């Protein structure tokens, strides 16, 4: 019997990206992330023939769910959330090896049952199988899961062999520096660092991956990527939505923890890091850590480097929306920020004197995530007449969402007999150039974890370095209460204090 007949996933499989036989165990299998992202990611990898030859999917959760019912829930999730329509043949190959184990996260006996379940899969396959544990649960049960994986012998399974166990940990990775260090300590007591994949789904997006390609493969950019030609860098992660029904969760988080410390800092590191010596995971992650360590401590006092605010009532999409303090589950004296902005300075040769501005907020004017590289203006000798020549800084913008791509702002002559100028935009969009059905971030990240590529995942020291920068801000805000809390109307681009961060350098926020 041909391999492609015995193992259908072999057909069309890229040997370079091929993963070993794998059991993926999803903790929190009945949760929202599993339905919206993880199950569709696994399904689409199967459609693309990128799952390993022997692949098994195991859901784990507190609820008692029969295997058939779990398969039905997974199938419904694919129908609703997958970027592709359900193909019965592709789903049939996956569902045949999809099972469910019920148990508590602090129940060692349940983990021992899970270990026996994986042993039976190995007996069925007839060879060692890699175990990939995906922790998609509230952070409060991260530690019990990790400890029980160790106590049940699952963390050390096949350690030292190519098919050793691995663990993917969802964010938030701690609430501050102390808790991040504590979580890292728990991880290191059970797993070795090369087994651990701390996930940030932003790093799986096409434009984020393309950032390194643009920087290091185009001769027109790399010579300019420094203090001599770049005036400032702005990173924006904004949302139109409010907290909705997640008020209870958001009250414990806020914009700095929810977006700045992880997503936005990752974008900063990739934008500003030095060229790695190679494209292997550790070389890239080494440079990211070096960059984060070069960021100077922020001035948190009045007229300093930080701003925070809560959204008030306003208009979104032509409809009135209420303010944060009127949302369900929000205390009337809430100290939780829905908007945060930072001005950062990097103390190294490349970026000395170049300000980096980061902002993230809810109920903003529009949903957008982008990195904007603002270049310096040329000497104003030829086109100095501001009334006649409408000039703008050249800007290279990486759009991460909702429309992944690049844009470049150039100054051009307006057609006519008189020499007049105005800024024009050149656009590249992944959807129009390569087709709209591009892989989701979780597809890339799950596949990378299966094959052991940690490039797009966060290392332990990297997480702690980021928290070291953000924790003093959180502490200062907690002590200040509502004293330094601004407000901004829903549908706007943020508070006046955020604009003031740029005004000190005679700069303005870009309006994406």
Q: How far is CA 440 from CA 81, 203, 359, 362, 446, in A?
A: 11, 11, 24, 23, 10
Specify whether 163 is catalytic: no
Q: How confident is the model at residue 417 (pLDDT cuts 50, 70, 90)?
A: confident
pLDDT digits (tens, 9 = 90+) for 420-468: 888 899 999 888 887 767 788 999 999 999 999 999 999 999 999 999 9
> pLDDT at position 246, please?
79
Q: How confident is the model at residue 74 (pLDDT cuts 50, 70, 90)?
A: very high
Nearest to 213 by CA among 284, 262, 158: 284
What's the whole-number mean pLDDT along residues 317-329?
Answer: 92
The Cα–Cα gap between 94 and 55 comes to 8
> pLDDT at position 249, please?
82
> pLDDT at position 298, please?
95
306/453 same-domain check: yes
Host domain of residue 57: 3-170
In a domain, 69, yes or no: yes
**CA-based radius of gyration for the chain:** 25
> pLDDT at position 4, please?
40
> pLDDT at position 207, please?
86
Q: How confident is the model at residue 392 (pLDDT cuts 50, 70, 90)?
A: confident
Q: Final residue of a domain: which of 122, 147, 170?
A: 170
The Cα–Cα gap between 196 and 166 comes to 6
382/241 same-domain check: yes
State the CATH number of the domain containing residue 312: 3.30.360.10
157/221 same-domain check: no
| 248 class by beta-carbon count within 10 Å (0-12 exposed, 13-18 middle, 19+ buried) | exposed
- Asked if 340 and 308 touch (Cβ cutoff 8 Å), the reply is yes
In a domain, 456, yes or no: yes
216/120 same-domain check: no
In a domain, 377, yes or no: yes
Q: How confident is the model at residue 17 (pLDDT cuts 50, 70, 90)?
A: low
> pLDDT at position 5, please?
43
State the CATH number of the domain containing residue 102: 3.40.50.720
292/388 same-domain check: yes
86/217 same-domain check: no
316/422 same-domain check: yes
The Cα–Cα gap between 313 and 311 comes to 7
247/391 same-domain check: yes
152/240 same-domain check: no
In a domain, 197, yes or no: no
pLDDT digits (tens, 9 = 90+) for 265-305: 999 999 999 999 998 999 999 999 999 999 999 999 888 99
Q: How confident is the model at residue 3 (pLDDT cuts 50, 70, 90)?
A: very low
339/487 same-domain check: yes
* Total domains, the chain: 2
262/163 same-domain check: no
Strand partners, 312: 489
Q: How far is CA 20 from CA 10, 448, 449, in A?
A: 12, 12, 11
138/207 same-domain check: no
Q: Which of 56, 164, 201, 263 is flagged as catalytic?
A: 263
Q: Model-level pTM?
A: 0.90
In a domain, 497, yes or no: yes
């Amino acid at each position: 019997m041909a391999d492609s007949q015995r193992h259908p996933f072999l057909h069309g499989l890229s040997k370079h990206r091929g993963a070993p036989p794998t059991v993926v165990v999803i903790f929190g299998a009945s949760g929202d992330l599993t339905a919206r992202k993880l199950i569709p990611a696994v399904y689409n990898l199967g459609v693309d023939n990128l799952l390993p030859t022997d692949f098994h999917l195991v859901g784990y959760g507190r609820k008692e769910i029969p295997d058939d019912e779990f398969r039905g829930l997974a199938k419904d999730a694919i129908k609703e959330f997958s970027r592709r329509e359900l193909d019965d043949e592709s789903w049939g190959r996956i569902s045949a090896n999809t099972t469910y184990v019920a148990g508590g996260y602090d129940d060692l006996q349940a983990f021992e049952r899970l270990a026996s379940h994986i042993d039976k899969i190995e007996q069925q396959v007839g060879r060692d199988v890699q175990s990939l544990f995906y922790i998609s649960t509230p952070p409060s049960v991260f530690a019990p899961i990790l400890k029980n994986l160790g106590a049940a012998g699952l963390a050390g399974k096949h350690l030292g062999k190519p098919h050793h166990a691995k663990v993917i940990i969802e964010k938030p990775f701690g609430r501050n520096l102390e808790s991040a260090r504590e979580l890292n300590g728990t991880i290191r007591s059970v797993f070795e660092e090369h087994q651990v994949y701390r996930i940030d789904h932003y790093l799986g997006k096409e434009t984020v991956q393309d950032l390194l390609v643009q920087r290091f493969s185009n001769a027109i950019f790399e010579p300019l990527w420094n203090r001599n030609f770049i005036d400032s860098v702005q990173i924006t992660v904004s949302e139109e939505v409010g907290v909705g029904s997640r008020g209870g969760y958001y009250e414990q988080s806020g914009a700095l923890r929810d977006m700045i410390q992880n997503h936005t800092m990752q974008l900063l590191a990739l934008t500003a890091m030095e060229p790695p010596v190679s494209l292997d995971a550790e070389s890239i992650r080494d440079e990211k850590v070096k960059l984060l360590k070069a960021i100077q401590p922020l001035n948190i006092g009045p007229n300093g480097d930080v701003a925070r605010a809560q959204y008030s009532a306003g208009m979104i999409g032509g409809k009135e929306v209420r303010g944060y303090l009127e949302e369900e589950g929000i205390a009337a004296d809430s100290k939780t920020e829905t908007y945060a902005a930072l001005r950062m300075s990097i103390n190294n040769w490349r970026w000395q004197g170049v300000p980096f501005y980061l902002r993230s907020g809810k109920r903003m004017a529009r949903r957008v995530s982008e990195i904007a590289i603002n270049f310096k203006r040329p000497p104003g000798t030829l086109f100095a007449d501001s009334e006649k020549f409408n000039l703008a800084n050249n800007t290279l913008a990486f759009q991460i969402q909702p429309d992944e791509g690049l844009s470049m702002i150039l100054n051009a002559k307006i057609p006519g007999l008189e020499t007049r100028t105005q800024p024009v935009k050149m656009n590249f969009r992944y959807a129009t150039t390569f087709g709209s059905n591009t892989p989701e971030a979780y597809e890339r990240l799950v596949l990378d974890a299966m094959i052991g590529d940690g490039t797009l995942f966060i290392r332990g020291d990297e997480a702690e370095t980021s928290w070291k920068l953000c924790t003093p801000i959180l502490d200062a805000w907690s002590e200040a209460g509502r004293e330094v809390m601004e407000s901004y109307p829903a549908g706007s681009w943020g508070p006046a204090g955020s604009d003031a961060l740029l005004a000190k350098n005679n700069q303005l926020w870009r309006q994406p």
